[in-house]
Amino acid sequence: MEPDQFAAALIDASPDGLILVDPGGTITLANPVAASMFGHDVDQLIGTSVDDLVPLEYRRGHARHRASYADRPSVRPMASGLRLFGQTANGALFPVEISLSSVDIDGEQQTIATIRDVSDRQETAAQMAMMQDRERIARDIHDMVIQRLFAAGMNLQAIQGQAEPAIVGERIGTAIDDLDDTIRELRAAIFRLGQQGERRSVSAQITELVHERARHLGFEPTVRLAGDLDHVPDFVADQLIATLTEGLSNIVRHADASNADVHVDLTDDVLSLIIGDNGKGIPNEPKRSGGLSNMMWRAAELGGACTVGPNEPSGTRLHWHVPVD
């Protein structure tokens, strides 16, 4: 096989689309994969402008980028870090990754573009994101709903054998309040799933949540907020609120506290949540299960950490912190 034939065979056998573009932006060579990707025959692609393969709204800018690359040719990805799209003959758009290199052909500098259709990869990424969302929702339901239902059930069970009508009435009232809260939290979770519009600010969510939990705590925790919390990304804010919910619920269930403080701070790209109470404290080696495990998982998923230890002079201190880009 002659060298030219060998080179042509390599180009045709490439799993990626390959096109060769002259300094004027005209396609001088294309392999079958590139032609199929854009909905053309090879002969149709050759001689046309490479700009025709770019979505209409980006064509003017693409011509400038070509000129800039011609001034400083190198082997590099095109528009690294940005989402790129190609446009087929019928106008459909599809996501691509493109690598560029330069080659001298008969004294003329031409550009080789290697094009990969990443539609399948992005679909897989979307499916992974959906699975992660489902797992997050499951944890939210555990943190905000199931444990409350369990507590309500235990409260109702404790009524059995009570002789005093006043005690029975009080316990039933508490259980009904817990169930009402659970219904509200389920509605809120469902609303978040379908929410398309403006979200409430992070500061408002924190203060409202703490105020709502005060009824169960028997006192109003102190809240301190610092930093530009309302610009925390939504996916980080969701994990913060879920962790705060679980932390306050733990105080209600286990701490026997008469005071608590909540401090949320965003400093130097680190979001920090500290919840302290003056209750009976925790064992030296707290079990990493249930709510505590979930709070640690939420921090780890965001590249952070969650620790629980003794508070001063008494009680428990939770510190949850994650980086925020």
pLDDT in tens, 253-301: 888 899 999 999 999 889 999 999 999 888 766 555 556 778 888 888 8
Number of domains in the chain: 3
Residue 63 belongs to a domain = yes
C-alpha closest to that of 38 among 54, 21, 25: 54
| Average confidence score pLDDT of the chain | 80
The domain of 146 spans 139-197
Identify the domain boundary among 129, 164, 197. 197
- Domain identity same for 188 and 302: no
Identify the domain boundary among 177, 197, 217. 197
Cα(148)–Cα(59) distance, integer angstroms: 56
pLDDT in tens, 65-121: 888 888 888 888 876 666 788 888 888 888 888 888 888 888 888 889 899 888 877
- Domain identity same for 265 and 160: no
Cα(299)–Cα(103) distance, integer angstroms: 49
C-alpha closest to that of 215 among 254, 261, 181: 181
- Residue 130 to residues 14, 134, 135, 193, 324: CA-CA distances in angstroms? 33, 6, 9, 11, 22
Residue 126 belongs to a domain = no
Q: Cα 3 from chain centroid?
A: 50
Residue 241 belongs to a domain = yes
pLDDT in tens, 158-177: 665 565 677 777 777 777 76
- Domain identity same for 169 and 269: no
Tokens 């009680």 sit on residue: 315
pLDDT bucket at 217, cuts 50 / 70 / 90: confident
Structure tokens belonging to residue 221? 């925790």
pLDDT bucket at 197, cuts 50 / 70 / 90: very low
Q: Cα 170 from chain centroid?
A: 43
What single-letter DSSP state applies at residue 51? G
Identify the domain boundary among 131, 163, 197. 197
Cα(47)–Cα(26) distance, integer angstroms: 6
- Residue 179 to residues 151, 173, 183, 189, 223: CA-CA distances in angstroms? 10, 10, 6, 15, 26
Residue 321 belongs to a domain = yes
- Domain identity same for 205 and 187: no
- Domain identity same for 58 and 147: no
Residue 280 sits in a domain whose CATH number is 3.30.565.10
